[in-house]
Amino acid sequence: MALDDNIIQRWQNTDLLLLGGSAGSFKPIYNLIKIFPADLNKTVIVVIHRKKNFFSEIEKLFAESSRMLMREISDKDLLNNNTIYIAPANYHTLIEKDKSFSLDVSDAVWYSKPSIDVTFESVSEIYKERCTAVLFSGANPDGAEGLLKLRKNGALTIVQDPNDAEIREMPQAAIDMNAAEYILKTKDIFELFQT
Amino acid sequence: MSATAETITAPQIAEIIDLVKKIYGFDFGSYTKASLKRRITRIMQLKKLQFYDLRHILVNDNAFFQQFLEEITVNVTEMFRDPSFYKEFNNQVIPYLASYQHSKIWCAGCSSGEEAYSLAILMEQAGLRKKSFIYGTDINTECLKEARKGIYSLRKIKSYAENYQLAGLEGSITDHFTILYDAATIHSELKQNILFSVHNLVSDNVFNEFQLISCRNVFIYFEISLQDRILDLFYNSLAPLGFLCLGAKETIRTDRFKKKFKVINQKENIYQKIGS
């Protein structure tokens, strides 16, 4: 699937970019973060599954390599433009109507906290079509339902081509639910975000 | 939780909040809406209820309300959650508590007791157990029953072993429990200096004076206006120079309270009461 005018235009009209993934997603997301300019003119939220008590490594690596501002999420923080946020370990990250973060320590979803589904669902109702979401490699189906909800609310939903993903279950689950408007090769995802 | 099922709308949530307040006296009006919506949607899915069913059953079935309350209030907790907090607490707060003849500790929003017992273990290891008393409070009476028992599944306690170790404590977490088959019971001496009772942060008031208040991962469910009310309550419940510990992602935001609480540890959100 090549990039068409529709996808490019919808990406450009996006206020919020969501990047979700689990096992095998760190590398493509990390490489993406590196290419974003400081003035991307969007907010970026990254939800990657990880173990509790080992939260600082991803933040550190991202902060060192990113030209965009990186902020740790504190409860009730307002979402800022040109800023990357990483969902903290051992919490679910939700978004309120006033575009502030709201954290939650309730049960794991698909054994995961942060859960991609929880953040995606929550964003879908607030940002509607002003949002682009990408689901990357992973070994469980978290994120698929959330992506479907985003799609139903008008967001641009993309999955990494399972053949391109290190572990195909997560993007495949989204495709099976018809949650993905576009299935893109990793290189096309990079190309899109540079338009 | 299924995302495809229909979720409840904002006006419907407002209606449920209103109903619960009128019938049961619990006010969820200043709880954060994103989380509340997720909790109510979850109840509707678990019980296979439409909005109208939920409204009906809340009006007519008092027993259901207890289940509702349990689902609405998030009772997920751990022992020694955020080990780095407990490490800093040992360094920065324990020496202060040690300087007192006797210290009173309030664990607000204690759920099933894991945090209160974590604090009890810290006090024990610091040799302060007999010089301290811990009050654990929550709005949920069922959780408080669990807390009073102090019996947890062995599997659960073992899952806290890593936290315990990372917190830099001596020995292992199971040293503080009596284990019988799959049940781990907290040592009875650790229960001697703890009292669990009902207190609603939304509506109840000062009930004692404390050297330390720990209220972790409770503020995340409250809007800022309610957080401020509770900060007032905490301020008035603390002895001069008493400590306040919030969750790892919870900070004091309003200027009024920034003047009243000095930051002791920015990362772990440990504060100390100043001014008068």
- At A95-113, the pLDDT tens digits run 999 999 999 999 999 999 9
Q: Edge-to-edge strands of the sheet including B132-138? A: B194-198, B132-138, B103-108, B210-215, B238-246, B270-273, B261-265
Q: Give the pLDDT band (50/70/90) at residue A56.
A: low
The verdict on B226 and B92 lying in the same domain is yes
- As a whole number, the mean pLDDT across chain B is 94
> Does residue B3 carry a pLDDT above 50?
no
Query: Does B132 reside within a domain?
Result: yes
Would you say residue B105 has pLDDT above 70? yes
Q: What is the pLDDT of residues B37-50, one digit of tens each?
A: 999 999 999 999 99
A148 contacts chain B (CB < 8 A): yes
What percentage of chain A reaches a pLDDT higher than 70? Answer: 97
Instruction: Quote helix, strand, coil % in chain A, to nearest 5.
Output: 35, 25, 45
Residue B4 forms part of a structural domain: no
Greatest Cα pair distance in chain A = 43
Q: Is residue B20 part of a domain?
A: yes
Is residue B59 domain-shared with residue B113, that is, in the same domain?
no
Active site residue A22: yes
Report the 10 Å Cβ neighbour count for B124: 18
The model's pTM: 0.93
Cβ–Cβ under 8 Å, residues B51 and B37: no
pLDDT at A58: 82
Q: Which of residues 33-62 of A touch B (CB under 8 A)?
A: 53
Average pLDDT over residues A29-41: 96
| CB pair distance less than 8 Å for B38 and A122 | yes
**How high is the pLDDT of residue A190?**
96
Gap between the Cα atoms of B231 and B148, Å rounded: 27
Instruction: State whether B261 and B147 are in the same domain.
Output: yes
Q: Beta strand pairing status for B270-273 and A16-21?
A: unpaired
Average pLDDT, chain A: 94
What's the confidence (pLDDT) of residue B7? 74
* B14: containing domain: 10-72
Q: Give the number of other Cβ atoms within 10 Å of residue A86's Cβ.
A: 25
**A6-to-A150, A192, B38, B207 alpha-carbon distances in Å:** 17, 11, 33, 62
User: Cα-flanking dihedrals φ and ψ of residue A121, to 5°?
Assistant: -60, -45
Residues B118 and B150 in one domain: yes
Q: Does any domain span residue B38?
A: yes
Half-sphere exposure of residue B222: CA atoms within 13 angstroms, side-chain side: 24
Which tens digit of pLDDT belongs to each residue from B154-182?
A: 999 999 999 999 999 999 999 999 999 99
Instruction: Tell whether B169 and B243 lie within a shared domain.
Output: yes
Q: Which one from A115, A122, A124, A142 is the annotated catalytic residue? A: A142
- pLDDT of A162 > 80? The answer is yes
What share of chain B has pLDDT > 90, as a percent? 91
Q: Is residue B5 included in any domain, yes or no?
A: no
Let me know whether B213 and B130 are in one domain.
Answer: yes
How near does any CA of chain B get to the CA of A63, in Å? 17
What are the sequence ranges of the domains in chain A?
A: 5-127+134-192
Q: What pLDDT was estimated at residue A77? A: 96
Is A49 designated active site? yes
Confidence of residue B1 (pLDDT cuts 50, 70, 90): very low
pLDDT (average), residues A1-14: 90
Task: Name the token pair of A183.
Answer: 């299935």
Q: Are B72 and B39 in contact (CB under 8 A)?
A: yes
B4 band by pLDDT with thresholds 50, 70 and 90: very low
pLDDT at B275: 78
Q: Give dist(CA A48, CA A20) in Å, integer.
A: 6
Cβ count within 10 A of residue A53: 15
Q: Are residues B38 and B161 in the same domain?
A: no
Residue B174 and residue B206 in one domain: yes
A50 confidence band (pLDDT: 50, 70, 90): confident
CB contact under 8 A, B221 and A104: yes
Q: What pLDDT is recorded for position A54?
A: 62
Final residue of a structural domain among B53, B72, B91: B72
Residue A72 has pLDDT above 90, yes or no: no
Mean pLDDT on A77-98? 96
Q: Do B33 and A97 touch (CB under 8 A)?
A: yes
> Strand A92-95 to strand A101-104: parallel, antiparallel, or no bridges (unpaired)?
antiparallel
- Using CA coordinates, name the residue in chain A closest to B36: A104
Q: Residues A18-37: what's their mean pLDDT?
A: 96
Last residue in a domain, options B33, B52, B72: B72
Are B90 and B121 a contacting pair, CB within 8 Å?
Answer: no
Cross-chain residue pair A95–B2, CB shorter than 8 Å: no
Does some domain include residue B94?
Answer: yes
pLDDT at residue A92 tops 50: yes
**Is the CB of residue B2 less than 8 Å away from at least one CB of chain A?**
yes
Cβ–Cβ under 8 Å, residues B129 and B117: no
Q: Is the pLDDT of residue A123 over 80?
A: yes
Distance from CA of B131 to the nearest CA of A (A): 32
Residues of B in contact with A102 (CB under 8 A): 32, 34-35, 220
CATH number at residue B111: 3.40.50.150
- CB-neighbour burial class of residue B253 (10 A; exposed 0-12, middle 13-18, buried 19+): middle
Q: Which residues contact B121 (CB under 8 A, 6 or more apart)?
A: B169, B176, B190
Binned at pLDDT 50, 70 and 90, residue A53 comes out as: low
A25, A49, A92, A188: which is the annotated catalytic residue?
A49
Q: Give the closest residue to A179 by CA, choosing from A139, A130, A121, A122.
A: A121
Spatial separation of the C-alpha atoms in residues A181 and A158, rounded to whole Å: 6
B96/B232 same-domain check: yes
Does residue B2 fall inside a structural domain? no
Residue B142 has pLDDT above 70, yes or no: yes
Number of domains in chain B: 2
Write the pLDDT tens digit of every residue in B180-199.
Answer: 999 999 999 999 999 999 99
Q: Say if residue B233 is in the same domain as residue B120.
A: yes
The predicted structure's pLDDT at residue A192? 96
Q: Is residue B226 very low, low, confident or very high in pLDDT (cuts 50, 70, 90)?
A: very high
Q: What is the sign of the dihedral through the CA atoms of A179, A182, A187 and A189?
A: negative
Mean pLDDT of B92-101: 96
Domain boundary among the residues B72, B98, B119 is at B72
- List the 204-243 stretch of B: residues with Cβ below 8 A of A: 217, 219-221, 224
Q: Are residues B43 and B97 in the same domain?
A: no
User: Please, which residues 119-178 of chain B have a Cβ atom closer than 8 Å to chain A?
Assistant: 162-163, 166
Confidence tier at B13 by pLDDT (50, 70, 90): very high
- Residues in A closer than 8 angstroms to B248, CB to CB, are 88
Other Cβ atoms less than 10 A from the Cβ of B192: the count is: 11
pLDDT at A64 over 70: yes
Asked, for residue B3, whether it belongs to a domain, the answer is: no
- What superfamily in CATH does domain A5-127+134-192 come from? Methylesterase CheB, C-terminal domain (3.40.50.180)
Q: Count each helix (H run) and each strand (E run) in chain A, helices first.
A: 7, 9
Q: Are residues B65 and B127 in the same domain?
A: no
What ipTM did this prediction achieve?
Answer: 0.89
